[in-house]
Amino acid sequence: MTSAFRDMSQPAVHPAPPVEAIAPTSLEWQIGNTPLLSFKRITAHLPENVTVLAKAEWTNPGGSVKDRAALQIIREAERDGLLKPGRIILDSTSGNTGIAYAMIGAAKGYRVKLFLPANATPERIAILRAYGADLVLTDPLEGSDGALREARQLAAAEPERYFYADQYSNPANWHAHYYGTAPEIWRQTSGTVTHFVAGLGTSGTLMGTGKRLKEYNPAIRAISLQPDSPFHGVEGWKHMQTAMKPAIYNAGFADGDVAISTEAAQAMARRLAREEGYLVGVSAAGAMAGALRVAEGIAERGAAGVVVTLFPDNAYKYLSESFWTD
């Protein structure tokens, strides 16, 4: 299959695809332009010329980075005539993208049907139901891939009833980061960013942000993070060697890849809460663990660097998990 990401090998067109203007008082207007966080204790061992920063994506109105992709997917579909009044937004999700669809769908008057693994945290399921989404809980042993297969089957069976958003294959996913996240990072670091580090789920964050940052400065390195095994507890991440690979994923794009264990991510979540005051989700903590490794490698080489990662969400949807008090 030809990757939708590889199709963007042509010269970049920097202005975002034309879509209807967003009113500054709308829910949509609140998505993006998230703050960039710094750290004190966890990075205290690094030299002064090596910095780690992270985008606080929980400040989006739906509480996660997935607000960006969901909004871009919906807006491009409306622009292209694929999503019209009366059609139902359909997709698979591990939670956050579904919450974003449900939130935006409620604001714009669309019904939303979602497939997600039955072992999603109670908090995420409760939020989705509060927004009025129609949920189908799939086999937890099949993870996000099982939910994806069932969503595809329904989309193929009733194409006129549903707009299949297909976050794993839809280029609008990475467009959100190419046109939004990357320019924000470039501005917020005054162009000093040297490394961008992100976990792999749909891969849209790494693909879109990394591509645009490299257009600003080809020396910037894009580093992917993924679980160290197929069976893991880092919500939202994929072990790409064994998972169904998203069509937007280009395995040759990243300049490096770091494997993160579930235990390392959970330990970092506790550290971020207790040493920095940032109560973040386990994928955010995994991102911090990976960014710290990259920063330590820079320091070991005697180089300077500004390492930027992204915290997809905070911990409020995961507080029922036991690792917080282990």
DSSP string, 33-81: ---EE--SSTTTTS-TTEEEEEEEGGGSTTSBTHHHHHHHHHHHHHHTT
pLDDT the model gives residue 25: 62
* CA-based nearest residue to 281, from 312, 260, 308, 309: 312
Residue 114 one-letter amino acid:
L
- Tell me if 317 sits within 8 A of 124, measured CB to CB: yes
For residue 318, pLDDT beyond 60: yes
Average per-residue pLDDT in the chain? 91
Q: Do 203 and 300 share a structural domain? A: yes
CA 155 – CA 138 distance, rounded (Å): 16
CA 8 – CA 68 distance, rounded (Å): 19
Q: Do 314 and 190 share a structural domain? A: yes
- Tell me if 208 sits within 8 A of 66, measured CB to CB: no
Q: Do 131 and 105 share a structural domain? A: yes
Rg (CA), the chain: 19
Query: Any idea which residue has 């500054």 for tokens?
Result: 24
| Domain endpoint, select from 164, 191, 207 | 164
pLDDT the model gives residue 121: 86
- Residues labelled catalytic: 66, 283
pLDDT in tens, 66-92: 999 999 999 999 999 999 999 999 999
Domain encompassing residue 141: 66-164
State the total domains in the chain: 2
Q: Do 263 and 201 share a structural domain? A: yes
Q: Do 252 and 153 share a structural domain? A: no
pLDDT in tens, 171-203: 999 999 999 999 999 999 999 999 999 999 999
Residues forming a β-bridge with 225: 199, 258
- Tell me if 189 sits within 8 A of 177, measured CB to CB: no
CA 289 – CA 284 distance, rounded (Å): 9
CA 119 – CA 210 distance, rounded (Å): 31
Which segment of 207-221, 231-245, 256-270 scores lowest on mean pLDDT? Answer: 231-245
pLDDT in tens, 143-171: 888 999 999 999 999 999 999 999 999 99
Query: Any idea which residue has 């714009």 for tokens?
Result: 108
- CATH, residue 76: 3.40.50.1100
pLDDT the model gives residue 10: 34
Q: pTM for this one?
A: 0.91
Query: Any idea which residue has 């929980």 for tokens?
Result: 58
Residue 110 one-letter amino acid:
Y
Q: Do 246 and 157 share a structural domain? A: no
Phi/psi of residue 96, nearest 5 degrees: -65, -45
Residue 110 forms part of a structural domain:
yes
pLDDT the model gives residue 14: 46
The angle subtended at Cα 255 by Cα 64 and Cα 291, nearest 5°, is 45
Q: What separation in angstroms does the CA of 68 have from each of 124, 187, 230?
A: 18, 18, 27
pLDDT the model gives residue 322: 85
Q: Do 257 and 204 share a structural domain? A: yes
- Tell me if 199 sits within 8 A of 235, measured CB to CB: no
Q: What separation in angstroms does the CA of 23 have from each of 3, 30, 78, 219?
A: 34, 10, 16, 37
Q: What is the mean pLDDT of residues 244-256?
A: 95
pLDDT the model gives residue 166: 95
